[in-house]
Amino acid sequence: MNILLLSNSAPNYHHFFKALVRLFESDGASVAVAVDSRFSREENHLDDLHFAEIHNFDAWFVSHQIDLEILAKYSDFNLNTMLLSDFERAQVYRIWGADVNPNYFDRLKSALLTYFEHIFKRHSIDTVIYENVSNSFAHFALIVAQRQGARYLGIGSSRLPARFAVTDNPLEDHAAKRAFEAICDGSLVPSSELRVWADTYIAQIENITPDYMKINGLDSLGLFRRYFKFRHLSKIWSLLRHAGDSRTDAFQIGNPLLTHIGLFRRNFGRRVRARRVRRFYRKSVEGERYLLYPLHFHPESSTSILAASWLDEYEVIRNIAFNLPEGVRLYVKDHVSAWAYPSLDFYRRLCLLPNVRLLPPEAPTKRLIRGSVAVITLTSTVGYEALLLHRRVFLFGRVFYEFHKGVTLVEKPAHLHKLLQTKLDLPTDWDEAYNNDFVCACHEATLPGTLNLMQGPEAAGQMAEQVYGQLKSNGYLILSGTPFEK
């Protein structure tokens, strides 16, 4: 295998992925690394991978001129949409500043395509390794891999406890659907042990928190514990060494010092706003009929990639509020990891909308699902949980559970009122056996292992060994020069 490892400034992720590619290399694979910037290369200690050639994208980008031929070559892909995830991140974190050249985005698209084509040809890449596609850097690597006949190995957490997923394309994540269809036609027969596990899991869903929510730490408002630690002194020195960097050449991290100052300001602003945001929250009303809408965390791939047309949640909520059937309210529940990040004006405008009640982040989600007539969401895990609790889901984005018969896709917002009128009061036409098949399919589409990419080097190394063993034993890898297979 000829592997391309993607790397950027995501904190601690490099511990796991470096450990993983070391295992590949020890089994005979060749490894190259594509890193977004010189800063990330230093922070992630990528030169410790002495067996790998490392390619800095910022060095490639700074001297790149727009290549119109390669833009035409890939014009069958929506290249502009692929920039959205990093554009949103840059806007939220103020990465690029205010002076972005009008040609910047065409040059960025062209540079990413030529950069990855160069690496693929130089190293005969057949497998890309990273987390699931979550940003523009990874998205462009994915489409070049597709054009070159290579596979993208996206490793990430799943909604099931102690299970992780391998995904080659976030917009075509049909593994659970294929497993479900195989269960239904009898070509895949879940074991009796799995059936019992699925029944127990469904029965306990009200008390289960997905693994990724347990480890992200984003629900904490504390600043001292996050920033003022002795071990952060080396990070400060590293940021100071890059104080003169361009804000746009390293498009994901920008000027690291200014970007981290922006991150601190955002978290500080959240801390300051927190008490004032509380006054906008309301309580649920006994006996009221309502749709439940969970707010999302931004910026995040679950919205900027899987629900790219619906990033402005105020506009989404306003559209729902003005298209509700008579006598139905919209309960908007704030996100436990994102509350108080939006502006006070965002909360104020939400509360002015007719038929809308804004609920606090600690409001009991599962109880709200049970009390609702349905859930309406972009891509939230709340939709998945609602299906297991026998509530219909109206879905705007793309997500792994979209094939469940309880899901209605919202494809034309202008038809939302009619859609809600005709669908809301229909009886739920799936039973516990259907949900058991559904959960068994999700289980069959994942692998055993709790994936925590925020861990330090020792724990990350142990996790990499577990993941690597699962990839090999489940037929995902063939290490004889044959591309990724499954």
267/302 same-domain check? no
Q: Is residue 64 part of a domain?
A: yes
pLDDT value at residue 211: 74
Question: Residue 219: what pLDDT?
Answer: 57
pTM for this predicted structure: 0.92
Task: Give a yes or no: residue 202 inside a domain.
Answer: no
Domain count, the chain: 3
In-domain check, residue 224: yes
**Tens of pLDDT, residues 114-130:** 999 999 999 999 999 99
Please indicate, yes or no, whether residues 39 and 54 belong to a single structural domain of this protein: yes
Nearest Cα residue to 114 out of 154, 141, 152, 96 = 141
Residues 394 and 328 in one domain: yes
Residues facing 55 on adjacent strands: 34
Q: Are residues 296 and 433 located together in one domain of the fold?
A: yes
Q: How far apart are CA 166 and CA 169, in angstroms?
A: 9
Identify whether residues 436 and 462 lie together within a single domain: no
Residue 164 within any structural domain of the chain: no
Question: Is the torsion defined by CA of 223, 217, 7, 302 positive or negative?
Answer: negative
Residue 177 domain-assigned (yes or no): no
Do 106 and 56 reside in the same domain of the chain? yes
Question: Do 115 and 241 share a domain, yes or no?
Answer: no
Same domain as 302, residue 221: no
Q: Are residues 120 and 98 in the same domain?
A: yes
For 143, the domain range is 2-157+449-473
Same domain, yes or no: 269 and 324: no
Kindly state whether residues 368 and 413 are assigned to the same domain.
yes
Domain membership of residue 176 (yes or no) is: no
Residue ranges, the chain, pLDDT below 50: 230, 479-486
Instruction: Tell me the pairing of strands 329-333 and 356-359.
Output: parallel
User: Using N-to-C axis directions, what is the helix angle for 13-26 and 457-473, rounded to 10°?
Assistant: 50
Q: Domain containing 370 — which CATH number?
A: 3.40.50.2000
| Last residue of one domain, picked from the residues 231, 257, 275 | 275
Burial class (CB in 10 A: 0-12, 13-18, 19+), 231: exposed
Do 435 and 457 sit in the same domain of this protein?
Answer: no
Q: Is residue 288 part of a domain?
A: yes
